[in-house]
Amino acid sequence: MAHRSLYPRPVLVEIAVVGSLNLDTTVRVAHLPSPGETVLGTGHFSDAGGKGANQAVAAARLGRRVAMVGLVGDDDAGVTLLRSLADAGVDTSAVGVVEDIGSGIAVITVADSAENSIVVDPGANRVLDGDRVRAAGGLLGSAAVTLVQLEVPIDAVVAAAACAGGLLVLNPAPATTLADDLLRRTDVLVPNATELGTLLGDAAPVGAEEAGRMATAVHGPAAVVVTLGADGAVVVEGGRVIHVAAPVVRAVDPTAAGDAFCGGLADALVRGLGLVDSVRWAVRCGAVAATRWGAQASLPTRRDVEALEAV
């Protein structure tokens, strides 16, 4: 397997995102299938996605200068994914192209209830390693915020944490346990309820109060923000536990709502807002995304979010 990528001199960016790029296929269904059940869809479409790329586009649409570090395959999907980032204004100079392996893909099923299930084949994302991340170390060192997730190998995540010159925001998705050293390097950990339970080897919390209690048991990060969908988020920082409510919206597809939240959080932190105020902005970003279909297609602009605030 060959790899080609030349990292030019880093440009000044506000937010660097290290993570996955996937081409998504979304199928709408009346209900999510049970094991062994076949469910007929009511429509489908493709969209650029991947948690890393989604978060990069989310922050860029809010007006931030963003760069992406990741890998795509030498295929049509890779061309589509790179074009989607570029169209959003994301710097792609540190996105490499891998030969002889396909780009990452995701198959997403969304029910009428707005619940979803997702299967991801990482493809090129699977070979993003620490060396490739360190090759973009100058870019990561110059960014005010570095955003990382877990759809790429943990070696790449650890390298990103070591190279980050500003705040490190870690979204531990998909859910898994994490080494203490990585948690100690993290400034803001952003799990959802399921991921919080996995981190602690426990069941997912039910409700904001239980989420707050469990989040205080996560040792290492300077702060923990637990996303709770329609219930908003819980912020644990400096011994304080604060619940931030979300606006009431009619959700249709939650696929990229968490990524919109992370992008919005990074945007607000770059603007110098405190963590609680940053989370207030982020929950609005996630709420707007949940009212729209698709991954990157659902991500809001600043005007979209401000309009929701005015309601």
Spell out the domain ranges in the chain.
Answer: 9-35+42-310
- What pLDDT, on a 0 to 100 scale, did the predictor assign at position 309? 67
- What pLDDT, on a 0 to 100 scale, did the predictor assign at position 148? 98
Confidence at 108, pLDDT banded by 50, 70, 90: confident
Average pLDDT over residues 208-229: 97
Q: What global pTM score does this model have?
A: 0.90
| CATH number for the segment(s) 9-35+42-310 | 3.40.1190.20
Residues recorded for the chain: 311
pLDDT(158) > 50? yes
Average pLDDT over residues 81-104: 96
- What pLDDT, on a 0 to 100 scale, did the predictor assign at position 3? 43
- What pLDDT, on a 0 to 100 scale, did the predictor assign at position 120? 87
Average pLDDT over residues 46-56: 94
- What pLDDT, on a 0 to 100 scale, did the predictor assign at position 181? 97
Confidence at 8, pLDDT banded by 50, 70, 90: very low
Confidence at 90, pLDDT banded by 50, 70, 90: very high
pLDDT(5) > 50? no
Torsion-angle region of 229 (φ positive above 0: left; ψ -120 to 50: alpha; else: beta): left
- What pLDDT, on a 0 to 100 scale, did the predictor assign at position 129? 96
Average pLDDT over residues 7-21: 79
pLDDT digits (tens, 9 = 90+) for 162-196: 999 999 999 999 999 999 999 999 999 999 999 99
Q: Is 259 a catalytic residue?
A: yes
Catalytic-labelled residue, pool 259, 267, 277, 304: 259
